[in-house]
Copies of this chain bind each other. A is one copy, B any other.
Amino acid sequence: MFIDLSKYMLADADYKSADGVIISIPYDETTSFKPGARDGGKAIREASWGLESYSPILDRDLTEVKYCDLKDLDLYGNQKDIFNLITNTIKNILNDGKKPIIFGGEHSITFPIIKAVKEIYNDFIVIQFDAHCDLRDEYLGNPLSHACVMRRIYEINKNIFQFGVRSGDKEEWEFIKKCNIYSKQRLLNEEDIDIIKDINKPIYVTIDIDVLDPAFAPGTGTPEPCGFTTKELFNSLYLLRDVKDMIVGFDIVEVAPIYDLANITAITAAKIARELMLMIL
């Protein structure tokens, strides 16, 4: 008789029976330019109710998969406390044999998530869709800033695949060259998938919504022109079907509804979540 529209659409499974576990992490404290990503999770969930549960591309319906929605992680204390909480939470979900589906929050949260993935899987691949390298060694004095997240991740796991990056400072691009990081200005294509398939390791996917062009995703803190259309991004993501069984979880970060227009960024993020859940669960 009553309905809770603050969950992701149809997230009706209980934790025990769920194969996927949605959580959100309302953290954006290192965001230097324009904060607001803390409200991303809420916006994505609300937007999900405007979508259908059925994907005509995948010919599958959300009613066919089992997932629950635990809502916002309750943050408290300084960055270290919060990052420990994130790592522990994700570790528990992975330990329970479930796939975490995380809505940010800013991109810095992916580092404590990856620390949890590292503890469980040790050797794995990170696929990143992002307009920015996020490979700085520190930013405004903070090595755990969202501008440094992939640098920190690289330090504990070298298997990084970057797609869509079109912005960074000079040192970041030199670091890419020096370390021979797999970093492309274009989106993931079939050749990339073949390479990833050959490596044959667990995969974690992190999607910074700013990989899309600002016209398609205005609701983000550091929009970067010359990005991709939603159609291009989805076509790239559909290629992941080839490795879907290897994917152990994913996040969608940097959705900042305060800068959004008619919720289109949140709706797009909600549709990405739907398609990926329909693939991997």
Query: Which chain A residues have a beta carbon within 8 Å of chain B's beta carbons?
Result: 1-6, 23, 28-29, 33-36, 42, 46, 49-54, 56, 59, 61, 70-78, 81, 85, 89, 140-142, 166-170, 173, 185, 213-216, 218-220, 222-227, 229-231, 234, 258-264, 267-268, 271
Contacts of A74 in B (CB 8 A): 1-3
Question: Which residues of chain B are within 8 angstroms of A59 by Cβ–Cβ distance?
Answer: 173
**Residue contact B33 to A35, C-beta cutoff 8 Å:** no
Residue A258 contacts which of B52, B89, B258 (CB distance < 8 angstroms)? B258
Q: Which residues of B contact A216 (CB under 8 A)?
A: 213-215, 225
Copy count, this protein chain = 6
Is B267 touching A225 in the complex (CB atoms < 8 A)?
A: yes
- Whether A215 lies near B264 (C-beta < 8 A) is yes
Main secondary structure of the interface of A (DSSP, over half): loop
Across-interface contacts of A261 in B (CB, < 8 A): 218, 259, 261-262
- The distance in angstroms between the C-alpha atoms of A70 and B61, with both chains bound, is 28
Check B214 against A264 for contact (C-beta < 8 Å).
Answer: yes
B2–A73 CB distance below 8 A = yes
A78/B142 in contact, CB under 8 A? yes
State whether A141 touches B77 (Cβ < 8 A). Answer: yes
**Which of B78, B168, B223 contacts A262 (CB under 8 A)?**
B223
CB nearest neighbor in B for A24: B2
| Residues of B contacting A213 in the complex (Cβ-Cβ under 8 angstroms) | 215-216, 229-231
- With a cutoff of 8 Å between Cβ atoms, the chain B residues found around residue A185 in the complex are 56
The CA of A260 and the CA of B264, in the complex, are separated in Å by 11
The reply to whether A61 and B170 form a contact with Cβ atoms under 8 Å apart is yes
Sort A-B residue pairs by CB-CB distance and give the 7 closest, nearest first.
A6-B6, A259-B262, A214-B264, A77-B141, A3-B74, A218-B262, A215-B215
Q: Would you give the shortest CB distance from A83 to chain B, in whole angstroms?
A: 14
Chain B residues positioned under 8 Å from A271 (CB to CB) = 225-226
Closest to A142 in B: B78
Please give, as numbers and ranges, the residues of chain B lying within 8 Å of A234 by CB-CB distance.
225-226
